[in-house]
Each structure stands twice: as structure tokens, then as C-alpha cells.
């Protein structure tokens, strides 16, 4: 894949995001042989374009962090992308459905590190020792592809469907909780829509941060202190509609909510 092809594919997904128009996946006919490594090159170009437009990276986010999902997709590692400043929604605030294509929500546990972590060889224990705080969060995902239909390289190139993040304000030290057994209840308009626990994320959310550090080390990068890190969805993703009130309760970590308008 040459530089022009990388830019062409990054433009393809970037324009879809800006215009709120769904597109057919890259691997349908644009570039059927797209590999995971090539997809990350497209993602890097997409990120470069966003930075050039004046947006700022808030922090990394992980995806495909369910062991069952990884096995189903025949991969050994989760995937990662980035949350930008224009994606952040204040806790208790509202979003407009018209700003998205077909948004869904996933509850997540976030980490904030007190020092940088650089792989390889980072373990979940290293992560816990380096972590200042954990916090509750909701990620808004919005694949730019029709019907959320994509292969793994497609979703990587699309910045792992990143579209929004609601960061809860309740902070806890990681040693104060057993993060793998933190229970999570996702409710919409008072109706429970999905349940889960921290163990849904690779057995323990700290393992997700460790995987991220080790994956980034392959290109000489590190997980940075002070950035909020989203570790992956704890429950199944739930589609949003106008008029929804989204509330997620976390055992020992408070709750997070927001509203959905037209």
C-alpha cells in the first residue's frame, strides 16, 4: 500500500464521519486485501488529519476486548483507537442524534496513569501499580460503515468506531476495588438493557491497558500518564434513539448518565 492509497482510504472514512453519511466497508471493493498493519497506517493518517484540523487527542480507547470476540475474529490482540476533544460529552449533558449516523453506547472502566507505561512486557500488575485512579465512563460508538458491518481491518481504519465519550467524575484508587467483579447496569429510560462485570474486559480491565502498552511499543510509543484510557465495553452495545436517558451504574464507582435529543 502506497502513501496515496493510505490517504485515499483515510479521506474515505474521515469524510463519512464529518458528513454523517454511512459508507460501504473498505474491504468490499476499495481495498479487499486490507491487512491489520495497513489498517493502522490508515488510522494514523486519519489521526494526522484530525490533528491538522485542530482537534486534540484526549486519550486512547480499546476495542474487541472480549476473549470470546477475539476468538471469533481469530485475533490475538484487541484493537485501539483514540478519543478526540470534540467527542467528549459532559456527564449529565445531552447529545443530538443528528450528530451521528447510528450511535450505540457501551459502559467502560477508565484508567488514569500516574506515570508513563512503555512495553514490551507490561503486565496488569504493572498497570495497577502505575494507576492513579479508575473512573466510570460511557463510550459512544458510531461505525461509519453501513449497518455496523465491518471486518477487523475496516474498524481499525475507522478509528475503532470512536464517536463520543462521557467520563464520570467519581474517582477511586485501583486498590480500593476488585475491578474484575465491578458490576455494571446499563439502563435506558429506566429500563435495564444490559448487564456485565469488569471481567468481561480480558478477564480484568488492567489487562487491557497492559495490552495497549505492549501493542504501542511495537511502534516506539507508550501509554501516557494523565490521559483517560477507555479499556473496552463491559456489556453489549445498545443503540440510541432521540428522547433516551442513558444511565449506567457501576458497583463501587458511582454512575454516569446523559440525554439524547433529536
pLDDT higher than 80, residue 73: no
pLDDT at 54: 98
| Average of per-residue pLDDT across 34-50 | 98
Provide mean pLDDT across the span 94-107.
Answer: 97
Is a pLDDT exceeding 90 seen at residue 74?
A: no
Q: Show the domains of the chain with their CATH numbers.
A: 3-261 (3.90.850.10)
Mean pLDDT across the chain: 96
**Is residue 98 very low, low, confident or very high in pLDDT (cuts 50, 70, 90)?**
very high
Of 5-14, 58-67, 73-82, where does mean pLDDT reach its minimum?
73-82
In sequence order, the β-bridge partners of residue 104 are 141, 239
Give residue 105's pLDDT.
Answer: 97
Cross-strand bridge partners of residue 95: 260
Bridge-based pairing of strands 183-188 and 57-63 is unpaired
Q: Could you give the 3-state DSSP secondary structure of residue 86?
A: helix
Is a pLDDT exceeding 80 seen at residue 68? Answer: no
pLDDT at 232: 96
d(CA 262, CA 94): 10
Write down the pLDDT at residue 72: 72
Secondary structure letter of residue 91 according to DSSP:
T
Q: Out of 67-71, 128-132, 250-254, pick the least confident.
A: 67-71
Residue among 213, 176, 197 at smallest CA distance from 107:
197
User: Is the pLDDT reported for residue 55 higher than 80?
Assistant: yes
Mean pLDDT of 170-186: 97
Give start and end residues of each alpha helix (H) in the chain: 3-19, 26-29, 36-52, 67-72, 124-130, 152-157, 205-217
Select from 7, 84, 83 the least CA-distant residue to 15: 7
Cβ-contact 184, 195 below 8 angstroms: yes
Q: Please name the residues in contact with 219: beta carbons below 8 A apart, sequence gap of 6 or more.
A: none
Q: Which three cell numbers stand for residue 129?
A: 501499580
pLDDT at 189 over 80: yes
229, containing H or E segment: strand 228-230
> Average pLDDT for residues 11-30, to the nearest whole number?
97
pLDDT confidence of residue 234: 95
- The secondary structure of 106-130 as a DSSP string is EEEEEEEESS-B--SS--HHHHHHH
CB burial of residue 179 (10 Å; 0-12, 13-18, 19+): buried
Note the pLDDT tens digit of each residue in 211-256: 999 999 999 999 999 999 999 999 999 999 999 999 999 999 999 9
Judged against a pLDDT cut of 80, whether residue 182 lies above it is answered with: yes
Amino acid at each position: 500500500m502506497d502513501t496515496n492509497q493510505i490517504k485515499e482510504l483515510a479521506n474515505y472514512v474521515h469524510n463519512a464521519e464529518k458528513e454523517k453519511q454511512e459508507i460501504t466497508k473498505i474491504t468490499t471493493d476499495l481495498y479487499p486485501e486490507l491487512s491489520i498493519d495497513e489498517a493502522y497506517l490508515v488510522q494514523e493518517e486519519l489521526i494526522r488529519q484530525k490533528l491538522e484540523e485542530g482537534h486534540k487527542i484526549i486519550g486512547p480507547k480499546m476495542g474487541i476486548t472480549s476473549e470470546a470476540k477475539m476468538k471469533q475474529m481469530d485475533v490475538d490482540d484487541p484493537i485501539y483507537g483514540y478519543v478526540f476533544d470534540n467527542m467528549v460529552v459532559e456527564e449529565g449533558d445531552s447529545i443530538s442524534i443528528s450528530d451521528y449516523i447510528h450511535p450505540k453506547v457501551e459502559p467502560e472502566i477508565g484508567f488514569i496513569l500516574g506515570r508513563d507505561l512503555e512495553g514490551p512486557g507490561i503486565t496488569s500488575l504493572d498497570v495497577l501499580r502505575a494507576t492513579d485512579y479508575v473512573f466510570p465512563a460511557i463510550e459512544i460508538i458510531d461505525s461509519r460503515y453501513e449497518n455496523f458491518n465491518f471486518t477487523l481491518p475496516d474498524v481499525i481504519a475507522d478509528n475503532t468506531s470512536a464517536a463520543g465519550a462521557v467520563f464520570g467524575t467519581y474517582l477511586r484508587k485501583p486498590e480500593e476495588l476488585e475491578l474484575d467483579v465491578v458490576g455494571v447496569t446499563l439502563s435506558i429510560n429506566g429500563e435495564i438493557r444490559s448487564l456485565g462485570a469488569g471481567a468481561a474486559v480480558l478477564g480484568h480491565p488492567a489487562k487491557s491497558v497492559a495490552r495497549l502498552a505492549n501493542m504501542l511499543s511495537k511502534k516506539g510509543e507508550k501509554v501516557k500518564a494523565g490521559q483517560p484510557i477507555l479499556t473496552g465495553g463491559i456489556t453489549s452495545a445498545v443503540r440510541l434513539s432521540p428522547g433516551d436517558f442513558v444511565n449506567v451504574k457501576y458497583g463501587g464507582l458511582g454512575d454516569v448518565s446523559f440525554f439524547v435529543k433529536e
